């Protein structure tokens, strides 16, 4: 297996899906050791840094990539297995930003409500205990939380020469902000352009479902991933597989549109795996689905339709490539799952 290490310079970071030149060409089956910058571009480093003065709105959510995958053509399936996600700093940051978040007035849904006060929270990260320290700013309350490293953004270029900001989740993946995108997960994305043009970023040291205030514990991340290619079979929406679950992530507004997209995608996936027609798959899904919310704050919302594989007969998805990539991951040495 080829193993490539890539640490981008500032001018190599991408801020869109589509429209960016590839930083490198790689073969299917390549292991990648990468570094990703945080969603703030490294501009928030203390509680005195606030978003309205520290951030450049054109340089948010920098992506590492895109990578051109040799042989990838529209309609194929890109399989991305996350082997290891390790925080690259001893701290992460989360911010309350005026007119941004799930519980405040926002430009897309304006009210007469005044903006919330700005606050910046710095969470210290202890690698030994894999915990984060929360400290309230209006009292002396403190708490340590287990970290759950994840990537907010995994995606490929959209179709039809479209260029989308890296703040947006959609059918091509992008800024889905799902805690399910953790080490041990394999993400399946439909290839929309030659080479796929795959990028990742937006590392979170911890995030709750929904990302309520709009920001997780944002931090730079060391990422190890294996990228492979399946000819044909590209899903309409991102699919995710772990050892225990199958998942489909839909994005849109309002939230029920994101839910519908993931549900319809799972109906199709159950049909592929078990030979069920749409109505039989629909009935089965109604009884076994879980639906964690990924985000309710981005340009599109994202919802996960999740099914426990242990409730179903064994039926390897995409030819069993998740298990193959998991075995390959173990050959790389230290992994975090």
State how far the alpha carbon of 2 is from the alpha carbons of 65, 82, 151, 322, in Å. 17, 16, 23, 18
Question: Which tokens sit at 146?
Answer: 């287990």
* Three-state secondary structure call for residue 278: helix
Per-residue pLDDT, 110: 85
**What distance in Å separates the CA atoms of residue 241 and residue 81, rounded to the nearest whole number?**
9
In tens digits, what is the pLDDT along the chain, a chain of 337 residues?
899 999 999 999 999 999 999 999 999 999 999 999 999 999 999 999 999 999 987 889 999 999 999 999 999 999 999 999 999 999 999 999 998 899 988 888 888 888 889 999 999 999 999 999 999 999 999 999 999 999 999 999 999 999 999 999 999 999 999 999 999 999 999 999 999 999 999 999 999 999 999 999 999 999 999 999 999 999 999 999 999 999 999 999 999 999 999 999 999 999 999 999 999 999 999 999 999 999 999 999 999 999 999 999 999 999 999 999 999 999 887 555 5
Give the closest residue to 204 by CA, choosing from 242, 141, 148: 148
Q: Which residue is listed with tokens 């039926």?
A: 315
Question: Which tokens sit at 14?
Answer: 């991408």
Give the closest residue to 238 by CA, choosing from 274, 279, 190: 190
Alpha carbon 235 to chain centroid distance?
A: 17
Per-residue pLDDT, 335: 57
**What distance in Å separates the CA atoms of residue 1 and residue 33, rounded to the nearest whole number?**
13
Domains of the chain: which residue ranges?
Answer: 3-328
| Cβ atoms of residues 228 and 325 within 8 Å | yes
| Cβ atoms of residues 312 and 182 within 8 Å | no
Per-residue pLDDT, 108: 80
pTM: 0.96
Per-residue pLDDT, 112: 86
Q: At 65, which helix (H) or strand (E)?
A: strand 63-69
In 108-197, DSSP assigns E strands to 119-126, 131-135, 142-146, 150-155, 164-165, 169-170, 173-174, 186-190
Per-residue pLDDT, 57: 79
Q: What is the CATH number of domain 3-328?
A: 2.60.120.580
* Three-state secondary structure call for residue 120: strand
**What distance in Å separates the CA atoms of residue 22 and residue 278, rounded to the nearest whole number?**
39
In the sheet that 293-295 helps form, which strands lie side by side, from edge to edge?
3-6, 30-36, 221-230, 77-87, 186-190, 239-241, 245-252, 301-308, 293-295
Pairing of strands 30-36, 3-6: parallel
DSSP class of residue 316 equals: -
């Amino acid at each position: 297996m080829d193993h490539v290490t890539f640490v981008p310079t500032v001018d190599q970071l991408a801020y869109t899906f589509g429209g960016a030149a590839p930083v490198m060409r790689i073969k299917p089956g390549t292991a990648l050791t990468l570094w990703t910058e945080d969603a703030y571009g490294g501009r928030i480093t203390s509680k005195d840094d606030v978003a309205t003065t520290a951030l450049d709105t054109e340089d948010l959510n920098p992506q590492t990539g895109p990578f051109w995958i040799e042989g990838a053509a529209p309609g194929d399936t890109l399989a991305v297995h996350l082997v290891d996600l390790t925080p690259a700093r001893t701290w992460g940051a989360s911010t309350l930003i005026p007119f941004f978040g799930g519980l405040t007035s926002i430009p897309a849904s304006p009210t007469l409500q005044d903006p919330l006060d700005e606050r910046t929270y710095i969470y210290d990260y202890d690698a030994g205990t894999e915990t984060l320290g929360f400290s309230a700013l209006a009292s002396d309350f403190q708490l340590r939380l287990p970290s759950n490293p994840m990537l907010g953004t995994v995606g490929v270029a959209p179709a039809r020469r479209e260029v989308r900001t890296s703040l947006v989740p959609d059918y091509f993946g992008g800024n889905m902000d799902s805690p399910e995108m953790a080490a041990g997960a394999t993400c399946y994305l439909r290839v929309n352009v030659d080479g796929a043009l795959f990028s990742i970023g937006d590392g979170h040291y911890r995030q709750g479902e929904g990302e309520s205030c709009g920001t997780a514990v944002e931090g730079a991340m060391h990422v190890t991933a294996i990228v492979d290619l399946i000819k044909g079979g590209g899903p309409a929406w991102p699919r995710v597989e772990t050892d225990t679950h199958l998942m489909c992530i839909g994005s849109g507004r309002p939230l029920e549109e994101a839910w519908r997209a993931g549900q319809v995608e799972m109906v199709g996936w159950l049909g592929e795996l078990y030979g069920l027609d749409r109505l039989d798959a629909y009935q089965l899904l109604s009884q076994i689905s879980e639906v964690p919310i990924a985000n309710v704050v981005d340009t599109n919302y994202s919802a996960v339709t999740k099914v426990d594989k242990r409730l179903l007969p064994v039926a390897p998805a995409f030819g069993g490539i998740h298990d193959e990539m998991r075995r390959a991951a173990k050959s790389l040495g230290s992994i975090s799952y």
